[in-house]
A and B are shown apart, each in its own frame.
Chain A
Amino acid sequence: MLDRLHQQTPTASWMSERDTMAGDACDEHDRARRFRDAALPCLDDVFTLARYLMRNSADAEDAVQECYLRALRHFDSYRGPAMKPWLLAILRNICNAEFARRGRQEAPADFADDEQADATPPIWQEPQASPETALLRRQDGDTIRRLVAALPQPFREAIVMREVNDLSYHEIAEVAGVPVGTVMSRLARARSMLRSAWTVAEGAAP
């Protein structure tokens, strides 16, 4: 739903922006204030997802900046209810567009279905069900961040939106433009991959 909304809006709001150029400054003042109050508290969330999608800080900052500019421009089309998923959906589109522009292999949405992605990373192994692996040793933050960052894109964004951005399944589904069932299977897969990588990292730790 959100995706569709964005695709429709650019021209319309671009036009309306020009058309209302001579509009009331008070309305404009009010609009800008409402946007700032709603969007600024989400900055860390937006930046974190950008970090995990773009995988480096400079690109993430550019994407976040553009996200806020685009969101401000399209704020007229924002119908709620939640600002965070709306911003994250815009950010995700920006990142996807940037990957498409660069023609990178890891461009998000390249995974037509989860089965295909299942086959790609041979380094992931199903965890051995044993009492030893049941209790995972606490990994340090850097290791965990590295493991999350190494996940294939659809699983990485799902787990970050769930664990960091604290979005509901429904919100993740809207941002990623997939059914809730797909979100569930991606999260299950993401955690399963993380768990096995975790176990491997644990084994490698001194």
Chain B
Amino acid sequence: MNCADTEIMLHALIDGELDAGHARDVEMHVAACPDCAEKLEAFRAMRQAMAQASLREAAPAHLRARIEAMLAVPAATSSTASIPRRSWLASIRESWKNFFGGFAVGTALSAAVAASLVIAVVRSDQNQQIAGDVVSAHLRSLQAGHLTDVETSDQHTVKPWFNGKLDVAPPVIDLTAQGFTLIGGRIDYITGQPVASIVYRRRKHVINLFVGEPLGAAIRGVKDESIQGFNIRHWREAGLDLWAVSDIDAGELDEFGQKFTAALHAPGPP
């Protein structure tokens, strides 16, 4: 062990952080090296002086009183479960406000508010980006030869085709009887994630139904949106995110979504 290694290890030795083997190595080096021995002695003396200087400070009495008041255990009452809790929290906040009114309350509240704002902003941005991606993918699919990788109206051909291409098994449902013709499927990418696109036709209009693992923020119910003249119906079902996008009108797209959901939950093999 040389002096450079020992330099740092000396402190670990003083602090009792070395295992027996390393401690012995350091001590052997120190025994043979006057420079390091001198340092060790100096640092030990300094540490002792610091301990005697009592750098530790007692919290001022008024601060301790405030904290103790803040942490005062509320009386446990049996009858009104929620009310004591509220008033207890309220009284903490109230007393706290009275004592400080500035830095502490401001920082804590603004931090909490800022945190929730950031989350809200990030989430909506994320979903907005996904919606934009969905429309772009839909537009790309309309270019010649891009619509389907597997072209068939047979759902039992489309569904196995996705096997091994995705982490999820997308539900492929033929809705021809309901007025939406299954014409095929392909793999697409939404925000860099592979998703299934199941393609339907309604009269002359194409509907892309993107199905993938949940991306972005959780949504409740159905979210309808319109971007660049395309309607998007976004919902979550069976642990999957589904986006239907098309240039058919919003009412028809909603009908498509409802029929898809109904067929998905219909008893018996589809």
Binding site for B on A (CB under 8 A): 10-11, 14, 21-26, 28-29, 32-33, 35-36, 39-40, 43-48, 51, 57, 59, 61-62, 64-66, 68-70, 72, 94, 97-98, 101, 127, 129, 131, 133-136, 138-141, 144-145, 148, 160, 162-164, 168-169, 184-185, 187-188, 191, 194-195, 198
Contact = CB atoms under 8 A, between A and B. Distances in A.
Given A61-B63, A138-B49, A185-B8, A47 B57 contact: yes
5 contacts: A25-B84, A65-B96, A101-B107, A135-B42, A141-B53
Interface residues of B, number: 63
B100 interface: yes
Contacts of A22: 81-82, 85
A48 B8 contact: no
Which of B73, B80, B81: most chain A CB closer than 10 A? B73
Contact of A11 (B59, B82, B116): B116
Interface string B36-52: 00110111011101111
B15 A136 contact: no
B76 interface: yes
Contact of A29 (B7, B58, B67, B76): B76
Given A21-B82, A164-B55, A188 B7 contact: yes
Nearest to A40: B71
Contact of B60 (A61, A70, A194): A61
A98 B107 contact: yes
Query: Which applies to chain B's interface (DSSP): helix, strand, loop or mixed?
Result: helix
B49 A10 contact: no
A11 B119 contact: yes
B38 A129 contact: yes
B39 to A, nearest CB: 8
A188 B55 contact: no
A185 B77 CA distance: 53
Given A29-B73, A32-B74, A48-B57, A62 B45 contact: no
Nearest to A36: B71
B223 to A, nearest CB: 22
Contact of A136 (B45, B53, B66, B116): B45
B13 to A, nearest CB: 11
B58 A47 contact: yes
Nearest to B66: A65
B28 interface: no
Given A25-B76, A131-B38, A191-B46, 7 more contacts: A43-B63, A65-B67, A69-B92, A101-B107, A136-B46, A141-B54, A148-B55
A32 B73 contact: yes
Contact of A184 (B11, B50, B52, B70): B11
B114 to A, nearest CB: 10
A195 B46 contact: yes
A2 to B, nearest CB: 17
A163 B51 contact: yes
B71 A32 contact: yes
A64 B46 contact: no
Contact of B108 (A36, A61, A69, A185): A69
Contacts of A39: 71
A191 B107 contact: no
B256 to A, nearest CB: 35
B85 A23 contact: yes
B53 A139 contact: yes
A161 to B, nearest CB: 11
B112 to A, nearest CB: 6
B68 A40 contact: yes
Nearest to A42: B59
Contacts of A64: 59, 63, 67
Nearest to B14: A191
A184 B8 contact: yes
B49 A144 contact: yes
Interface string B78-106: 10111011101000100010011011100
Interface string B1-40: 0000001101110010100000000000000000100110
A134 B42 contact: yes
A43 B43 CA distance: 29
